[in-house]
Structures are given as structure tokens and as C-alpha cells.
Amino acid sequence: MKRFIFEIWEGLLIAVRAVRGNKMRSVLTTLGIIIGIISVTSMATVVNGIERGFEEDMASLGADVLYIEKWPWVR
């Protein structure tokens, strides 16, 4: 158990030294992760909004009825 704790501690020390030694790389990596999370969250929100709008538009047609015609309604 002591060896496991020592290895974890040693790994953390190596990681801290690497972050301190490569500050710009660490900042850019963190910035990339933040931008990625914001992008995924934003896209999920946009898709959810489009889906809700589509469901509301379809609900306005009637009781969950979708009309599909081969020919247009107006000639």
C-alpha cells in the first residue's frame, strides 16, 4: 500500500513539474479543453432548441398528425 501511495505521489510531482516547465503549453491545452466543452454544450443547446421548435410546429398541425402528400396542396 505504501508503494502505491508513493507512486501516486511521485506521479503528481512529475505532473506539477511538467506543468510548471511548460506554462504556455498548459495554458493552451486548458484553453482548448474549455473551448471544446463550450462548443459541445452550445451545439447541444442549439439542437435541443431546434427540436423543440419542430415539435411545437408539428403539434400545431393537430394531434400528432403529420401530412405527407405526393403532390403539392396548391396547384
Whole-prediction pTM: 0.59
pLDDT 10s digits, 9-58: 999 999 999 989 999 999 999 999 999 999 999 999 999 999 999 888 87
Asked if residue 15 is part of any domain, the answer here is no
Asked if residue 40 is part of any domain, the answer here is yes
Asked if residue 38 is part of any domain, the answer here is yes
Quote the domain boundaries for residue 56.
23-60
Q: Judge contact between 56 and 64, C-beta under 8 A.
A: no
Print the SS3 string covering 8-55. Answer: HHHHHHHHHHHHHHCHHHHHHHHHHHHHHHHHHHHHHHHHHHHHHHHH
User: Which pLDDT score, from 0 to 100, does residue 54 have?
Assistant: 87
Q: Which of 4, 29, 26 is nearest to 17 (CA)?
A: 26
Asked if residue 1 is part of any domain, the answer here is no
Asked if residue 69 is part of any domain, the answer here is no
Q: How many CB atoms lie within 10 A of CB 26?
A: 13
Q: How many domains does the chain have?
A: 1
Q: How many CB atoms lie within 10 A of CB 19?
A: 14
Asked if residue 45 is part of any domain, the answer here is yes
Asked if residue 18 is part of any domain, the answer here is no
Asked if residue 65 is part of any domain, the answer here is no
